[in-house]
Amino acid sequence: MCGIVGSIGKINTRKYLIDGLYSLDYRGYDSAGLAFLDSSNELKIFKAVGKVEVLDSIAPKEFESSIGIGHTRWATHGAPNETNCHPHVSSHKEIAIVHNGVIENYRALKTRLMGYGYSFESETDTEVIANLLEFNYRKNHDVLDGIRRTIDELEGSFALAIIVKDQPDRLYFMKRSSPLFIGLGDEYKLLASDAVPMIKYTNKFVDLKDDEYGYISKEEVALFKGYDKLEPEITHQSPEFLNRDLGDNPNYMIKEIQETPQVITRLIDNYFDGEKFLFNPKMIEAIKKSDDIIFIACGTSYHASLMGVKYMQYLGKRSEAYVASEWAYFPVFTSKKPLYILLSQSGETADLIRCQKIINSRGSINIAITNTKGSTIERNATFSCLLFSGLEIAVASTKVFSAQVCLLALLTGAIEKHTNVVTHLSVVTSALEKIIENKQDIENIASKIENASMIFFIGRGNDYIASMEASLKMKEISYMHCEAFAGGELKHGPIALVDKDTCLIAFNSDMSTNLALRNNVKEIEARGAKSFVISYSSFMKDDDAFLVDNVKSYLSTIVMVFVSQYLAYYVTLHKGLNIDKPRNLAKSVTVE
């Protein structure tokens, strides 16, 4: 989940590296570092524990260099200290690297290299790669041959930017399972974990594929796989969807929450032309012919996939959802014509990539639903559906959840050939706009629950799914202990935890369960807990905490989760915590 950048050629090296790391710190912010060759071809390394701001303060304000690499870290091997911070340098100081990914066989490689006299300072798997590269390079002093040998020996995932001290005119790279892009400028070339750091410099990119390696110079891209030289495939990115401008917003989370209505409108525009749906007809036909629709996802995307299961079951399809990290190791095959739908905001989720490899090895059809065009999952899917949500920077996903549920609803409408889903979604956007207007009322609720010892989120049916996502969001950024339960399950054990310091948030959007849910609320109140009911306005009670406009029941999760995003936001704001960058988390989960 780390972020890497690199540059070579006629460009302000320091500015690109530091600015690039700022733009990638959503991938990890335990520590940061950079390396460059100065005008005397000496390797200079600067590292700092903490966010990129700390590195920015200690690195020279100016330096003469035409080649450099940088890194912002989410720790996997070794504590976030200066020794474990990237870049890492080989024992003989010939090679410096930054790395995103996890090397599974690093212990065996480390033991072997120690037998050849190599020493290690850090606890990281990355330092093993640096020494292995140097060891293989020293065999015949051919960097490309050394990289090729190293790729063959490594097990796991990696995206690397590599400086070789006696090759100052080339910046080397290698990639497997972790994202890496090349940016093309006239007299400079760039590397980064995604296009965001490079979009101010170019809109032309090369999206590297697994086991590709090579080098960039100020004028050239040399790309290889195995012993074959490849022709780079150039793609273009729109700056509109890579915009990091906060505008008048104090942080990215609130900006992204409030972009949700526009995201839904944009999705409708991309998948419906006013008369007919615009999904790939072959994809629609594949869904119709399948006998089992299997959703696989992680975290927030998994909760969106639970709505997808309900939509497919409504169409008469057998359907289920699995957590990717579990299915990857315990895959389930129960039908003759399965179709898999993979949901990922980044399209680079490591657990999901592992699942996709299993699916593809069986020749099964899979559909990627992602926000990132050209990502690993999108590229390797049979079909893909983009979310067009724009860049999501805050670690806690908000607008993408709504986009995923919206897209699944549109897809269901396309399969069923019912265009009224578009009208229903327009009602949702109006309901969201009204919630935005009344967000101060949600802040008032937040002030009443922020000191609770524990928060229960409950609901029934779709509202139970909303409760699960609401609980996750509150955990992620406020660090409060909270749990989600189906309303009727409280009395089967969890109610034993309730005391006067417990708070209950109940989502109530279904008339058929309205009375049952309110009875569950009374059961909790009788044990001394404070309760707050978020309800449809059509069956409100005088003591309900917040009302939302009615939308169609199959879309209720969008509006209830939207309220919960504000709730988590305001609790965290009142606690004075870092809203966009919660502890121990990173945005793009590129490690298993």
Which residues are the active-site residues?
Answer: 2, 587
CA-nearest of 110, 146, 124, 150 to 47 is 124
Q: Please name the residue that has the structure tokens 């090369």.
A: 206
d(CA 352, CA 345): 11
Q: Which DSSP string do the residues of 414-477 spell out, in sequence order? A: HHHT-THHHHHHHHHHHHHHHHHHTHHHHHHHHHHHTT-SEEEEEESTHHHHHHHHHHHHHHHH
Yes or no: say if 149 and 55 are a contact pair by the CB < 8 Å rule: no
| Residue carrying structure tokens 């315990």 | 330
Strand order in the sheet with 292-297: 319-323, 292-297, 338-344, 365-370, 383-386
Q: What are the distances in angstroms from CA 542 to CA 459, 505, 510, 550?
A: 19, 16, 18, 17
Provide the token pair at 563.
Answer: 């309220």
Q: Is the peptide bond before 232 cis (omega within 30 degrees of 0)?
A: no
CB neighbours of residue 379 within 10 Å: 16
Distance CA(333)–CA(509), nearest Å, equals 35
